């Protein structure tokens, strides 16, 4: 699965304190790829300083994660990956429910 141009990745894992076993590669050797990296501590500090933006990032990352899980589901036929995806889906649903409850309490 390819990430669209100007796409971000890794924020989901940082925001929800998850590990990832996904390997990212460029689509070809001829393509120029530019990568910007923000340190995890700096990213989390920025989220604390700007909580509304942090909440928007969480919502967007959940939607993006669901989109890519659906895409991966179509591509993958390996049973171990299916098991992992089911586990991740459960975690995503649980986190979304928790976020909704936290938002409603505020």
Position 79 pLDDT exceeds 80: no
* Residue closest to 3 by CA, chosen among 27, 30, 32: 27
In this prediction, residue 7 has a pLDDT band, given cuts at 50, 70 and 90, of confident
Q: Residue range 69-96: average pLDDT?
A: 74
Please check whether residue 35 is in contact with residue 6, taking contact to mean a CB–CB distance below 8 angstroms: no
Residue 1 lies in a domain: no
How many domains does the chain divide into? Answer: 1
Task: For residue 104, count CB atoms less than 10 angstroms from its CB and return exposed for 0-12, middle for 13-18, buried for 19 or more.
Answer: exposed
* Long-range CB contacts for residues 87-91, cutoff 8 Å, separation at least 24: 91/16, 91/18
Residue 19 lies in a domain: yes
Rg value, the chain, Cα: 15
Residue 22 lies in a domain: yes
Residue 18 lies in a domain: yes
Residue 72 lies in a domain: yes
The fraction of the chain above a pLDDT of 90, given in percent, is: 21
pTM of the model: 0.57
Residue 15 lies in a domain: yes
Q: Residue 52 is part of which domain span?
A: 11-105
């Amino acid at each position: 699965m390819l990430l669209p141009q100007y796409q971000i990745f890794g924020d989901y894992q940082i925001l929800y304190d998850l590990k990832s076993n996904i390997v990212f590669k460029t689509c070809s050797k001829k393509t120029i790829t530019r990568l910007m990296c923000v340190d995890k501590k700096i990213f989390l500090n920025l989220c604390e300083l700007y909580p509304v933006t942090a909440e928007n990032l969480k919502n967007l990352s959940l939607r993006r994660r669901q989109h890519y899980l659906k895409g991966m589901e179509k591509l993958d036929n390996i049973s171990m990956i299916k098991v992992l995806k089911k586990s991740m889906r459960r975690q995503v649903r649980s986190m979304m429910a928790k976020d909704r409850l936290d938002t409603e309490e505020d």
